[in-house]
Amino acid sequence: MRILRTLLIIVLAVVAIVCILGMIGPDTFRYERSVTIDAPPSAVYGHVNSLAAMDKWSPWNAYDPNMKKTYEGTDGTVGAISRWEGNKDVGKGEPRIDSLVPDRLVRNHVKFLEPFASESDALVELQPDGEGTKVTWAMAGENDFMSKLMGKFMDMDAMLGKDFETGLAMLKEQVETAEAARKAALAAKTSGGYVIETIDHPGSVYVGKRNKKVKWADIGAFYGTNFPAAGAAIGAAKLEMAGAPSGVMWAWNEKDQTADMMAAMPVKGDANTKVEGFETHVVPASKMLMLAYYGDYSKNMPAHEAIDAYIKDKGLTHYGNVIEEYVTDPMAEPDTAKWLTNIYYMVK
């Protein structure tokens, strides 16, 4: 009896110790690691804002290459769920996107089902750091009895921290590789500080007034007279507009400072479209260079010079028309810095 009593006392003491250990300790936890990535938050965000994107740099894929994964809902939106099931090293569980703050935060709620049940939040926090981004990957939640008890025997910060560091290193490599490629592609289509896009233009039909000898100094007056007149005539003819007022040019003569040009309105129609008192001109579908110029319409010559330099640098040939599409209405927007002109050159 004395032995049984001693054993009972020992068992009760152990249980008491376990209970005490399971009750003491912090009520919440947060384990985190950070890395600085040489890219702005906007470039990093696309690599962390969906479950599939995060899976590309997950350190746990290496623990079970045959892990089963499924998705539910629209990935990249709040409420989307991913489920994984794998070997004993990865277990089974499901993350759900709970919060998305563009370029700042992604919060996923993670349910671990196996080898033991628990819930926590996984966060990816983005903070500008000079020209780069400080990325913090964290896991946070509440400590229940079992987690407090396990915390006395396991260093969870060290265990998770190692995986976080591995994942963040992969994220850094992916983002910086993609950012380097983006910068190289941007540099390849930049001339004179302007970005020039190559597009397949579907073609346009213009109705307006053409003058083969408009003096440069008179272009503003030429537009001021003919844009409203063409617009009124197109309305009377019950034609539908297909874009913004445009200047369609055939020649720009440095010697006598004149231009062969048309004050034109794009319309839905074809070569047979007729408006009394005005000409119809069809620009065929073609490959074009496009430059989005912001600034005073009358001061866009550097943009044209940048396109000319680009054409020479790329070994292209300009032919046909040059088109200036005046997207912003100066009467509605007084700030000339916000005036947008889309400039198009037909090339081959």
pLDDT tens sequence across 64-90: 999 999 999 999 999 999 999 999 988
Residue 325 lies in a domain: yes
Task: Please say which residue of 145, 163, 188 terminates a domain.
Answer: 188
Domain that holds residue 74: 23-188
Kind and range of the H or E run holding 53: helix 51-55
Q: Residue 33: which CATH number?
A: 3.30.530.20
Question: What is the predicted pLDDT for the residue at 158?
Answer: 72
84-128 tens-digit pLDDT: 999 998 899 999 999 999 999 999 999 988 887 888 999 999 999
Residue 58 reports pLDDT greater than 90: yes
Q: What is the mean pLDDT of residues 315-338?
A: 95
Task: Please say which residue of 188, 218, 245 terminates a domain.
Answer: 188
Q: What is the mean pLDDT of residues 242-259?
A: 95
Compute CA distances 269 → 141, 204, 228, 263, 280, whole Å: 63, 9, 20, 17, 10
Q: What is the mean pLDDT of residues 257-280?
A: 95
Calpha distance 129→158 (Å, rounded): 26
Total domains, the chain: 2
Percent of the chain with pLDDT over 70: 88
197-239 tens-digit pLDDT: 999 999 999 999 999 999 999 999 999 999 999 999 999 999 9
Residue 117 lies in a domain: yes
Question: What is the predicted pLDDT for the residue at 217?
Answer: 92
Calpha distance 137→139 (Å, rounded): 7
Calpha distance 245→222 (Å, rounded): 13
Q: pLDDT band for 241, please (50, 70, 90 cuts).
A: very high
57-71, 142-156, 280-294: least confidently modelled range: 142-156
On whether both 291 and 269 belong to a single domain, the answer is: yes
Question: What is the predicted pLDDT for the residue at 151?
Answer: 52
On whether both 76 and 163 belong to a single domain, the answer is: yes
Calpha distance 8→303 (Å, rounded): 90
Q: How distant is the alpha carbon of residue 33 from its chain centre?
A: 25
Question: What is the predicted pLDDT for the residue at 118?
Answer: 82
Q: pLDDT band for 28, please (50, 70, 90 cuts).
A: confident
Calpha distance 149→266 (Å, rounded): 74
Residue 11 lies in a domain: no
DSSP string, 58-109: -GGGGG-TT-EEEEES-TTSTT-EEEEE-STTT-EEEEEEEEEETTTEEEEE
Report the mean per-residue pLDDT for the chain: 90
- Length of the chain in terms of residues written: 348
Q: pLDDT band for 153, please (50, 70, 90 cuts).
A: very low
Q: What are phi and psi of 240, to 5 degrees?
A: -95, 130
Q: Residue 288: which CATH number?
A: 3.20.80.10
SS3 content of the chain, % helix, strand, coil (to 5): 35, 40, 25
On whether both 142 and 227 belong to a single domain, the answer is: no
Question: What is the predicted pLDDT for the residue at 262?
Answer: 97
On whether both 272 and 167 belong to a single domain, the answer is: no
On whether both 107 and 181 belong to a single domain, the answer is: yes
Bridge partners, 111 (sequence order): 94, 119
Residue 16 reports pLDDT greater than 50: no
Task: Kindly give, in sequence order, each residue whose CB lies less than 8 Å from that of residue 9, ignoring residues fewer than 6 positions away.
Answer: none
316 close to 347: Cβ distance less than 8 angstroms: yes
Question: What is the predicted pLDDT for the residue at 159?
Answer: 72
Question: What is the predicted pLDDT for the residue at 114?
Answer: 87
24-33, 106-115, 179-188: least confidently modelled range: 24-33
Task: Please say which residue of 132, 155, 188 terminates a domain.
Answer: 188
Q: How many CB atoms lie within 10 A of CB 333?
A: 12
Q: What are phi and psi of 118, to 5 degrees?
A: -165, 165
Residue 175 one-letter amino acid = V
On whether both 175 and 201 belong to a single domain, the answer is: no
Calpha distance 57→105 (Å, rounded): 17
- Which has the higher per-residue pLDDT, 155 or 35? 35
DSSP string, 220-255: HHHHHHHHHHHHHHHHHTTPPB-SS-EEEEEEEETT
On whether both 342 and 207 belong to a single domain, the answer is: yes
On whether both 315 and 253 belong to a single domain, the answer is: yes
Q: What are phi and psi of 346, to 5 degrees?
A: -80, 130
Q: What is the mean pLDDT of residues 150-164?
A: 70
